[in-house]
Amino acid sequence: MSRPEDQPTGAGSQGIPGPTDRTAGTSTATGQAATPPPSEDRWREAVRAITTGNGLVALLSVLLAVAIGSLLILVTDDAVRETSGYVFSRPGDFFSAAGQAISGAYGSLFRGSIYNSRGADFASQIRPLTETLKFAGPLIMAGLGVGLTFRAGMFNIGGRGQMLLAGAAAGWVGINVDLPFPLHLAAAVLAGMVAGAFWAGIAGVLKARTGAHEVIVTIMLNYVGFYLVFYALSRQSLLQAPGSINPKSLPMQDSAILPDLLGDRFNLHLGFVLALVAVAVVWWVLNRSALGFRFRAVGANPHAARTAGIDVGRTYVLAMLISGALVGLAGANQILGTATSGVTVDLDAGIGFDAITVALLGRSHPLGILGAGLLFGAFKAGGFSMQASEGIPVDIVLVIQSLIVLFIAAPPLVRAMFRLPAQEAK
């Protein structure tokens, strides 16, 4: 029973001339031990860095995007452009015009999204905040769905298709089924969630069974979903309102509508509460449940997860199902709460894609997504009032949102700009 240390040292002490011909087994040796992980792993690593990066970067990205948004406001503002012509002779004019443009823009953004100091009574002063919450609800729901797939190592780009299918299913129940109030609403919401889960589940199953990349599948399913719903909306036998030639359904029955939270004067409805419940549930699933543990394990290292007896394919399918159900909840929220006048192919209102940004900004953490959803809800609510009161194109807000994504996806850029120390890594 000897150990290395008891042996005479020297090059040949183990007396093992290696095999002269290494064709048989070397490929495995190299593959296992030495070559950097295959490109898929690197892609996954990058995705992980982008989707779960650190909070400071998220915050700085927002600030930077807002700063660049300010520049755009300056460039597009007429008064600023005029005064810039004689900026050297009368710089004061230029700076006061610039100051006015920016404070006007962000002032109206604030008044449109949080508190309108010019409102006649308390209700109209506080109304913008309720609008923000109304817009934030579905963003949070769908953002949770997308964030959940990020944590499991996947992308769900199919929010649009899932929301459309969910909206159509929830709408169909909301129009055609006769049930008393809470039951009808519950059935409609459930139908939406099931439809969303089904649509996302297709991508999950295809990935698990055939290895088809979920990004491509979910994008394609957006188109399929769109035309499917469009078709249903042009058939009287399916969803189209009787006697109509427009691709639109009948309005929801009252018994299927999400009730208003603050009475008739506000648009805020029960959907926001559902969003908060979803935050709590997803938080629990990810951090306290065995299922979430497996999601995170598969997302962070599928090799180790598989070796530990976790069925990676099954986990992908489950993650996609739950993700789709959450996105479907957002779809149901739209048709049963925000746009109850009938199903159309515009019912997703861009939320399916904004949800990706929300999940990124929230770093795939439920509470982060809550915050990011509220911020984007405020952008939505405020963007319109900015356009209305200051004549600033609402696109500025879209540019700010897009820049946020850009900066989050390029943390090294943000780090360099703010001279943060490079992340220490082995």
1 is a site residue for other proteins (CB under 8 A): yes
Q: Rule CB under 8 A: is residue 89 a binding residue for other proteins?
A: no
By beta-carbon proximity to other proteins, the closer residue of 197 and 312 is: 312
Q: Rule CB under 8 A: say whether 304 interacts with other proteins.
A: yes
- 155 and 149 Cβ atoms separated by less than 8 Å: yes
Confirm or reject binding of residue 210 to other proteins (CB under 8 A). no
Tokens of 281: 């549930």
Residue from the set 6, 121, 178, 264 that interacts with other proteins by CB under 8 A: 6
Phi and psi of 240, rounded to 5°? -65, 140
* Using rule CB under 8 A, residue 117 touches other proteins: no
Give the one residue of 105, 195, 305, 347 binding other proteins; rule: CB under 8 A. Answer: 305
283 binds other proteins (CB under 8 A): no
> Least distance to other proteins from the beta carbon of 287, Å?
8
Q: Is 32 in the site for other proteins (CB under 8 A)?
A: yes
Using CB under 8 A as the binding criterion, the count of chain residues that bind other proteins stands at 58
Residue closer to other proteins by CB (options 50, 188) is: 50
Q: Is 11 in the site for other proteins (CB under 8 A)?
A: yes
Helix, strand or coil for residue 403? helix
Q: Which amino acid is at 101?
A: A
Query: What residues form DSSP beta bridges with 240?
Result: 249
Among 198, 266, 283, 293, binds other proteins (CB under 8 A): 293
Site for other proteins in 405-424 (CB under 8 A): 421-422, 424
Cα–Cα distance, 244 to 247 (Å, whole number): 8
Other C-beta atoms within 10 Å of 164: how many? 33
Indicate the DSSP class of residue 254.
G
Task: Give dist(CA 81, CA 304) in Å, integer.
Answer: 59
Q: Do 286 and 296 form a contact (C-beta atoms < 8 A)?
A: yes
- The nearer residue to other proteins, 1 or 245, going by C-beta atoms, is 1
**Alpha-carbon gap, residue 364 to 360, rounded angstroms:** 6
> Cα(157)–Cα(179) distance, rounded to whole angstroms?
35
Binding site for other proteins (CB under 8 A): 1-7, 9-20, 22, 24-30, 32-37, 48, 288-291, 293-294, 296-297, 300-301, 303-311, 421-422, 424-426
